[in-house]
Structure 1
Amino acid sequence: MTFGEQPAYLRVASDLRQKITDGSLPPHTRLPSQARIREEYGVSDTVALEARKVLMAEGLVEGRSGSGTYVRERLVPRRIARSGYRLAEGATPFRQEQADESVRGTWESSSEQDAADTDVALRLSVPQGARVMRTRYIYRDAGEAMMLSTSWEPLEITGRTPVMLPEEGPVGGCGVVERMAAIDIVVDNVVEEVGARPGLAEELLALGGVPGHVVVVISRTYYASGRAVETADIVVPADRYRIAYHLPVR
């Protein structure tokens, strides 16, 4: 499709996007009103509204209740490392990254027993309703929420062992590989599937996003001799962070 064949609302959105990109409409500037867009571009109210919706869905502008629509601050995405190399003893990828003195990362967690739903049961290869330990995490950078994670571990593996609670006990907080090794289970493989979707309302509330913002979701599962020992969903705001993979060449 050539530019001339684009629907009117996309042409308007493209022009406004260019003005945002080149600085003609700098951050915190109010976007032209619907009436002004209609007059300036010679389009209908419907076209003007749809163009604004496109820019909002792209995360370039945000609505402020009772005030209008404004250009958002253009953030420089920070990298979140996912490494295929062996980390320092007892370090998860997030904890390893926080060792840098320039980084001010913190995290909170809470664990509770739960019944595996259909998706979790499939990922862990356990019966639906099987008991699992669910742990929710929120990771912060200089106080700002940057990442959410929910993990599930089968209690038929970890129940009544010193590693039943991921963040407590003699190896609490040391990561799945070292914790499982403490109960003589050797983790030898990890699978990560990366996707994107609109954030759920509760996720965006926790991460400081607005409805419609996209999140990157990493679905991770650790295996020991083909048996799943932990699975997790990691949720990251797509407009603020990039996932960087460092993988060894064999």
Structure 2
Amino acid sequence: MADRQGAGYLRVAQAIRDRIADGTWPPGHKLPNRPTLADEFGVGENTVRQAVEIVLAEGLLESFRGRGRGTFVRAPRARHILPRTLTPTAAPGRLGLAPAGSLMSVEAESTAKVPAPALIAARLGIAEGELCVCTEYEVLADLRCVLAATSWEPYALTMGTPVVLPEGGPLAGRGVAERMAQIDITVARVTEVPRPVQLDREAAQMLGTTPGAQAVLIERTHYDTAGRAVETADILAPADRWDITYDIPLDPVPRT
């Protein structure tokens, strides 16, 4: 359907803004689907898509996939703290993937025998294509993904053991150090490299934001006492939702 009023997507975008501003669509309101809006405004569905993307980029809307999927009027967001120091207040074993005391939950799915991509293989010190166990994590708030992570472990380390799947078996969800201890591997240290990134379309859709939105990608790697990498992960935190905090203890300095 052709739009006879020029740049129709701008007209539709303004109508969406107006409905948000006057309270017709309050925070949390789910927008009608594209065909419904296209019929209402007398435009094509592609025009509606362009209009919604503009208002999404302005931060007035948010879009989610999976359970609770759809496009919603965005409510003011409280910022969350993502602690990156292993303390009793951090989530068990996950180094703060789900902040303690929050109403968030973690969903995870592990897949065994996944060939390691080149960058992951380099971080693990293994050959490209060597088999790994890959685990995808989604941290959910109100059934919506607000943080994501992907973890990789060399399959050769854990195959044939009860801890081969990080989120399955007797130590499901207990974290890398505790699981590795069960097979006589001692995790001695963890390194993290935070990097600023812009979300691509797929990641933005998963996290309910717009392509190009700012995020922090934390490259985390666990090492054993011999310096061997036993796990590496990418933790993706949207910058508009998370304050990433590092608590660095210091030994007392004696007076001179």
TM-score (norm 2): 0.66
Residue in 1 aligned with 2:44?
Answer: none
Question: Residue 229 of structure 1 aligns to which amino acid in structure 2?
Answer: V
Cα 1:72/1:90, change in 2 over 3 Å: closer
Q: Distance in 1 between matches of 2:135 and 2:78?
A: 30
Q: Which amino acid aligns with 2:245?
A: A
Deviations 1:149-190 (A, max 9, x none): 000000111111111000111211100010001111000010
Which residue is 1:172 aligned to? 172
State, as a whole percentage, how many aligned pairs show the same letter. 35
Maintained 8 Å contact 1:185/1:224: yes
* Structure 2 residue aligned with 1:188: 188
Give, in whole Å, the separation in 1 of the partners of 2:134 and 2:85.
24
SS at structure 2 position matched to 1:94: coil
Task: Identify unmatched segments of 5+ residues in structure 2.
Answer: 1-16, 23-53, 63-72, 252-256
Aligned partner of 1:81 in structure 2 is: 83
Letter of the 1:188 partner, please give it: A
SS in 1 for 2:172: coil
**Stretch deviating more after TM superposition (123-132 or 142-151):** 142-151
Aligned to 1:8: none
1: CA distance, partners of 2:91 / 2:178? 8
5+ residue gaps, structure 1, are 1-24, 31-55, 65-70
- Structure 2 CA distance for aligned equivalents of residues 89 and 62 of structure 1: 31
RMSD: 3.1
| Structure (1 or 2) with the greater helix fraction | 1
What CA distance in whole angstroms lies between the structure 1 residues aligned with 2:60 and 2:90?
Answer: 41
**Partners in 2 of 1:196 and 1:188 — Cα distance?**
27
In the TM superposition, what is the alpha-carbon distance from 1:240 to its structure 2 partner? Answer: 1.4
The alignment covers a number of residue pairs equal to 192
CA offsets 1:74-105 (integer angstroms, 9 cap, x no match) = 5342211111446689543337733x2xx211
Rounded to whole Å, the distance in 1 between the matches of 2:154 and 2:84 is: 24
| Compared CA separation, residues 140 and 156, structure 1 to 2 (3 A) | same
TM-score (norm 1): 0.68
> Which residues of 2 match residues 95-174 of structure 1 at below 5 A?
97-98=99-100, 100=101, 103-112=102-111, 113-174=113-174
Secondary structure of 1:178 counterpart: helix
Match for residue 238 of structure 1? 239
Question: Matches of 1:90 and 1:29 in 2, distance apart?
Answer: 42
Distance 1:61 1:110, change over 3 A: closer
Amino acid at match of 2:209: G
* Cα gap change, 1:131 to 1:74, in 2 (>3 Å): same
Structure 2: which amino acid aligns with 1:110?
Answer: E
Matched, 1:206 2:229: no
In the aligned structure 2, how far is the partner of 1:89 from the partner of 1:242? Answer: 16
Cα separation, partners in 2 of 1:107 and 1:86, compared to 1, 3 Å: closer
In structure 2, the CA distance between the partners of 1:86 and 1:240, relative to structure 1 (3 Å rule), is closer
